[in-house]
Amino acid sequence: MTALQVALLGYGTVGKGVYQTIHQHQARIRKLLGREVKVAAVLVKDLSKHELPDQEVILTDQFSDILGIEHIDVVIDAIVGVEPGFTYLQEAIKKGCHVITANKEMFAYHSSTLQNLAAEHGVTVGFEATVAGGIPIIQTLKKLLNANKVQSLQGILNGTSNFILTKMREEQLSFSEALTLAQQLGYAEADPANDIEGHDAFYKAVILSEVLFGEQPVWEDTVREGIAEITIDQIDYFHSLGLRFKHVASLEKAADAIKCSVKPVLVSSSHPLYQVENVQNAINIEADIVGSISLQGPGAGMFPTASAIIEDLIHIDDKEYIPCFDEELSPVSSATASVWVILGKSAIIDLPDSVSIIRKIGDTAWLVEATEDSISAVKELPCFQLLGSVDQIPKVEKVY
Ligand SMILES: NC(=O)C1=CN([C@@H]2O[C@H](COP(=O)(O)OP(=O)(O)OC[C@H]3O[C@@H](n4cnc5c(N)ncnc54)[C@H](OP(=O)(O)O)[C@@H]3O)[C@@H](O)[C@H]2O)C=CC1
Ligand SMILES: N[C@@H](CC=O)C(=O)O
């Protein structure tokens, strides 16, 4: 049988990981696919930076050279930004190529267009690598949780921000030192503002929302807060109370809309996200038949991302179940109160009636109960949602 011909767009952290994985694991891949996989061409932006290990592979900075190759089965997108990736993948699909992408920003904007176009042309779109690096969350949701309806999801979806928060707490690195290290390790986006301001985690949540609910949250209604404002003093203070900062993305099917947020929260040791450290990502799913499931693994980097792409390659022709999004889910009530930690300097903090104080947990920290709407009225004090049980947090005063 002839080899499966692949064109690779991008030869950075992810592109190199895919290239090397295809070469290093050729025997295993051939066994699974029943044919060899050959990288026929690689597209880059700046030719002068690159040299490929195999001279027969075309290295080009022109996408027209890729389209000009007589037979390409699969185009793998590991470049940056919405364009030109979106245009390139549409061209590839129209030519009859399957496509696989790691480019979550592009896919968050254009997933339906690409998937509809692919269906018209009888090819498929793989996007496992767009969410949570090496964790096989997309294929799990699409192929292994079909009878279940997922009601909500909570996860650490950005490896860089989790890495930074861990290094600041464990090694007392400054924010910028930790970010530089994440960049050196190939975790961060070309523009790291995407990671630290929560855009990257938001794009991933959008992609998950389409898989889970068949639609996206309204982008403008999403709460998106980054981690750049968190100080090492806050990290240390909450650490002394047994709490860790995590940058958490949440999705919920509410009565009238999909609720989506990406924000720093405080997590106590009883919560599954507490021990998710460094570049690890984790996703907790609440589904109606199975209950609660957690998946954890490396959320960024060369080989975890290549792993997701290669798994898509192996499964490129798999049957897909038609999801039944129209079925009623019991909606999560938007009025549910949750627990928050407020940093307040004075002995007694002045809060609106809709926010009830549970107790003081440190010399400047208070535990309160409030809905998202009520807490947003407490503008002048730093406040963070708390995930997990409050039982382990030391009691410094009687119930207020
Ligand atoms: N790094 C990671 O851990 C993960 C990254 N991703 C996603 O994968 C994609 C690639 O990320 P990563 O490998 O880290 O990025 P890099 O910056 O390391 O590499 C990007 C590559 O794309 C090429 N490129 C960029 N723009 C163009 C263009 N307009 N035309 C042709 N080639 C272009 C660059 O070429 P040149 O080298 O010549 O500049 C480079 O080879 C991104 O969309 C990212 O969001 C997804 C999951 C994890
Ligand atoms: N920059 C991203 C890379 C993977 O998606 C991250 O840090 O998670």
Query: Which ligand ends up closest to the CA of 227?
Result: 2
The predicted-structure confidence for 260-319, as pLDDT tens digits, reads as follows 999 999 999 999 999 999 999 999 999 999 999 999 999 999 999 999 999 999 999 887
Beta strands 125-126 and 383-387 are: unpaired
How far apart are the C-alpha atoms of 248 and 156, rounded to whole Å?
A: 5
- CA 179 to centroid of ligand 2, rounded, Å: 12
User: 9 C-alpha to center of ligand 1: Å?
Assistant: 8
204 included as an active-site residue = yes
H or E element: which one contains 153?
strand 150-156
For the chain, the average pLDDT equals 93
CATH 3.90.550.10 fits 137-298, yes or no: no
Nearest one of 280, 273, 285, 283 to 244, comparing CA atoms: 273
With a 6 Å cutoff on the Cβ, whether 280 touches ligand 2 is: no
pLDDT at residue number 346: 65
Q: Name the active-site residue from 142, 204, 259, 263.
A: 204
Is 128 a pocket residue for ligand 2 (Cβ < 6 Å)?
Answer: no
Residue 320 pLDDT greater than 80, yes or no? no
The pLDDT of residue 376 is 84
Q: 3-class DSSP state for residue 32?
A: helix
Check if the interface score ipTM surpasses 0.95. yes
Name the residue ranges covered by the structural domains of the chain. Answer: 4-126, 137-298, 338-387
Task: Report whether pLDDT(15) > 80.
Answer: yes
Using most ligand atoms within 8 A of CB, pick from 79, 162, 187, 191 the residue to mutate for ligand 2. Answer: 187
Give 87's pLDDT tier (boundaries 50, 70, 90).
Answer: very high
Instruction: State residue 345's pLDDT score.
Output: 72
Q: Give the torsion sign (CA, 42, 43, 44, 47).
A: positive
CATH tag, 4-126: 3.40.50.720
What's the confidence (pLDDT) of residue 396? 66
Ligand nearest to the CA of 8: 1
DSSP annotation of 45 reads S
Asked if pLDDT for residue 41 goes beyond 60, the answer is yes
366-397: per-residue pLDDT in tens?
999 999 889 988 878 899 999 998 887 877 65
Instruction: Indicate the pTM of the whole model.
Output: 0.95
Query: Which one, of 260, 186, 273, lies nearest residue 225 by Cα?
Result: 260
Look up residue 358 and give its two tokens. 């549970």
Question: pLDDT digits over 174-227, tens only?
Answer: 999 999 999 999 999 999 999 999 999 999 999 999 999 999 999 999 999 999
Give yes or no for residue 105 CB within 6 A of ligand 2: no
Nearest CA among 99, 97, 164 for reference residue 129: 99
Q: Please check the confidence at residue 332 and state whether its pLDDT lies above 60.
A: no
Pocket flag, ligand 2, residue 189 (CB < 6 Å):
yes
d(CA 340, ligand 1 centre) in Å: 38
